[in-house]
Amino acid sequence: MIDSFTKKPIRVSDDGDAGPYIMVQLDQLDLVKKLLNDAGIRHSVDEDAISFNNQPYTAVVNLGHHVDVLAVQKLLDENADPKMARHRRPHSGRRG
């Protein structure tokens, strides 16, 4: 999944003492929660979203200490937000 603000892939961070987490733009939070719920991955969202230097608000999605970080990352990587997907021109099938 691509971050709607930075246009970079969303990454699962596991560098904190509180356990793995995902930083998500508010406009993508519902989609990320749905993906996690559908996959049966327990999570919680911090009550307050944060914003730095007048940038869009970002939510922190906390994952359990025993979550499979690689599996969650794969889930995010395999599910692009339809709003962020690159539109491809239809291929006419003709060559030459």
Taking residues 61-86, what's their average pLDDT?
84
- The CATH number assigned to the domain holding 70 equals 3.30.70
pLDDT tens-place string over residues 15-57 = 867 789 999 999 999 999 999 999 999 999 999 999 989 999 9
Domain assignment present for 95: no
Give Cβ neighbours of residue 14 (< 8 Å, ≥ 6 apart): 20, 69
Q: What is the pTM of this model?
A: 0.81
Residue corresponding to tokens 């962020």: 84
Domain assignment present for 53: yes
For residue 17, the model assigns a pLDDT of 79
Domain assignment present for 56: yes
Residue 48 lies in domain: 12-78
Q: How far apart are CA 21 and CA 19, in angstroms?
A: 7
Domain assignment present for 6: no
Domain assignment present for 61: yes
Domain assignment present for 51: yes
Domain assignment present for 83: no
Domains of the chain: total: 1
Domain assignment present for 23: yes
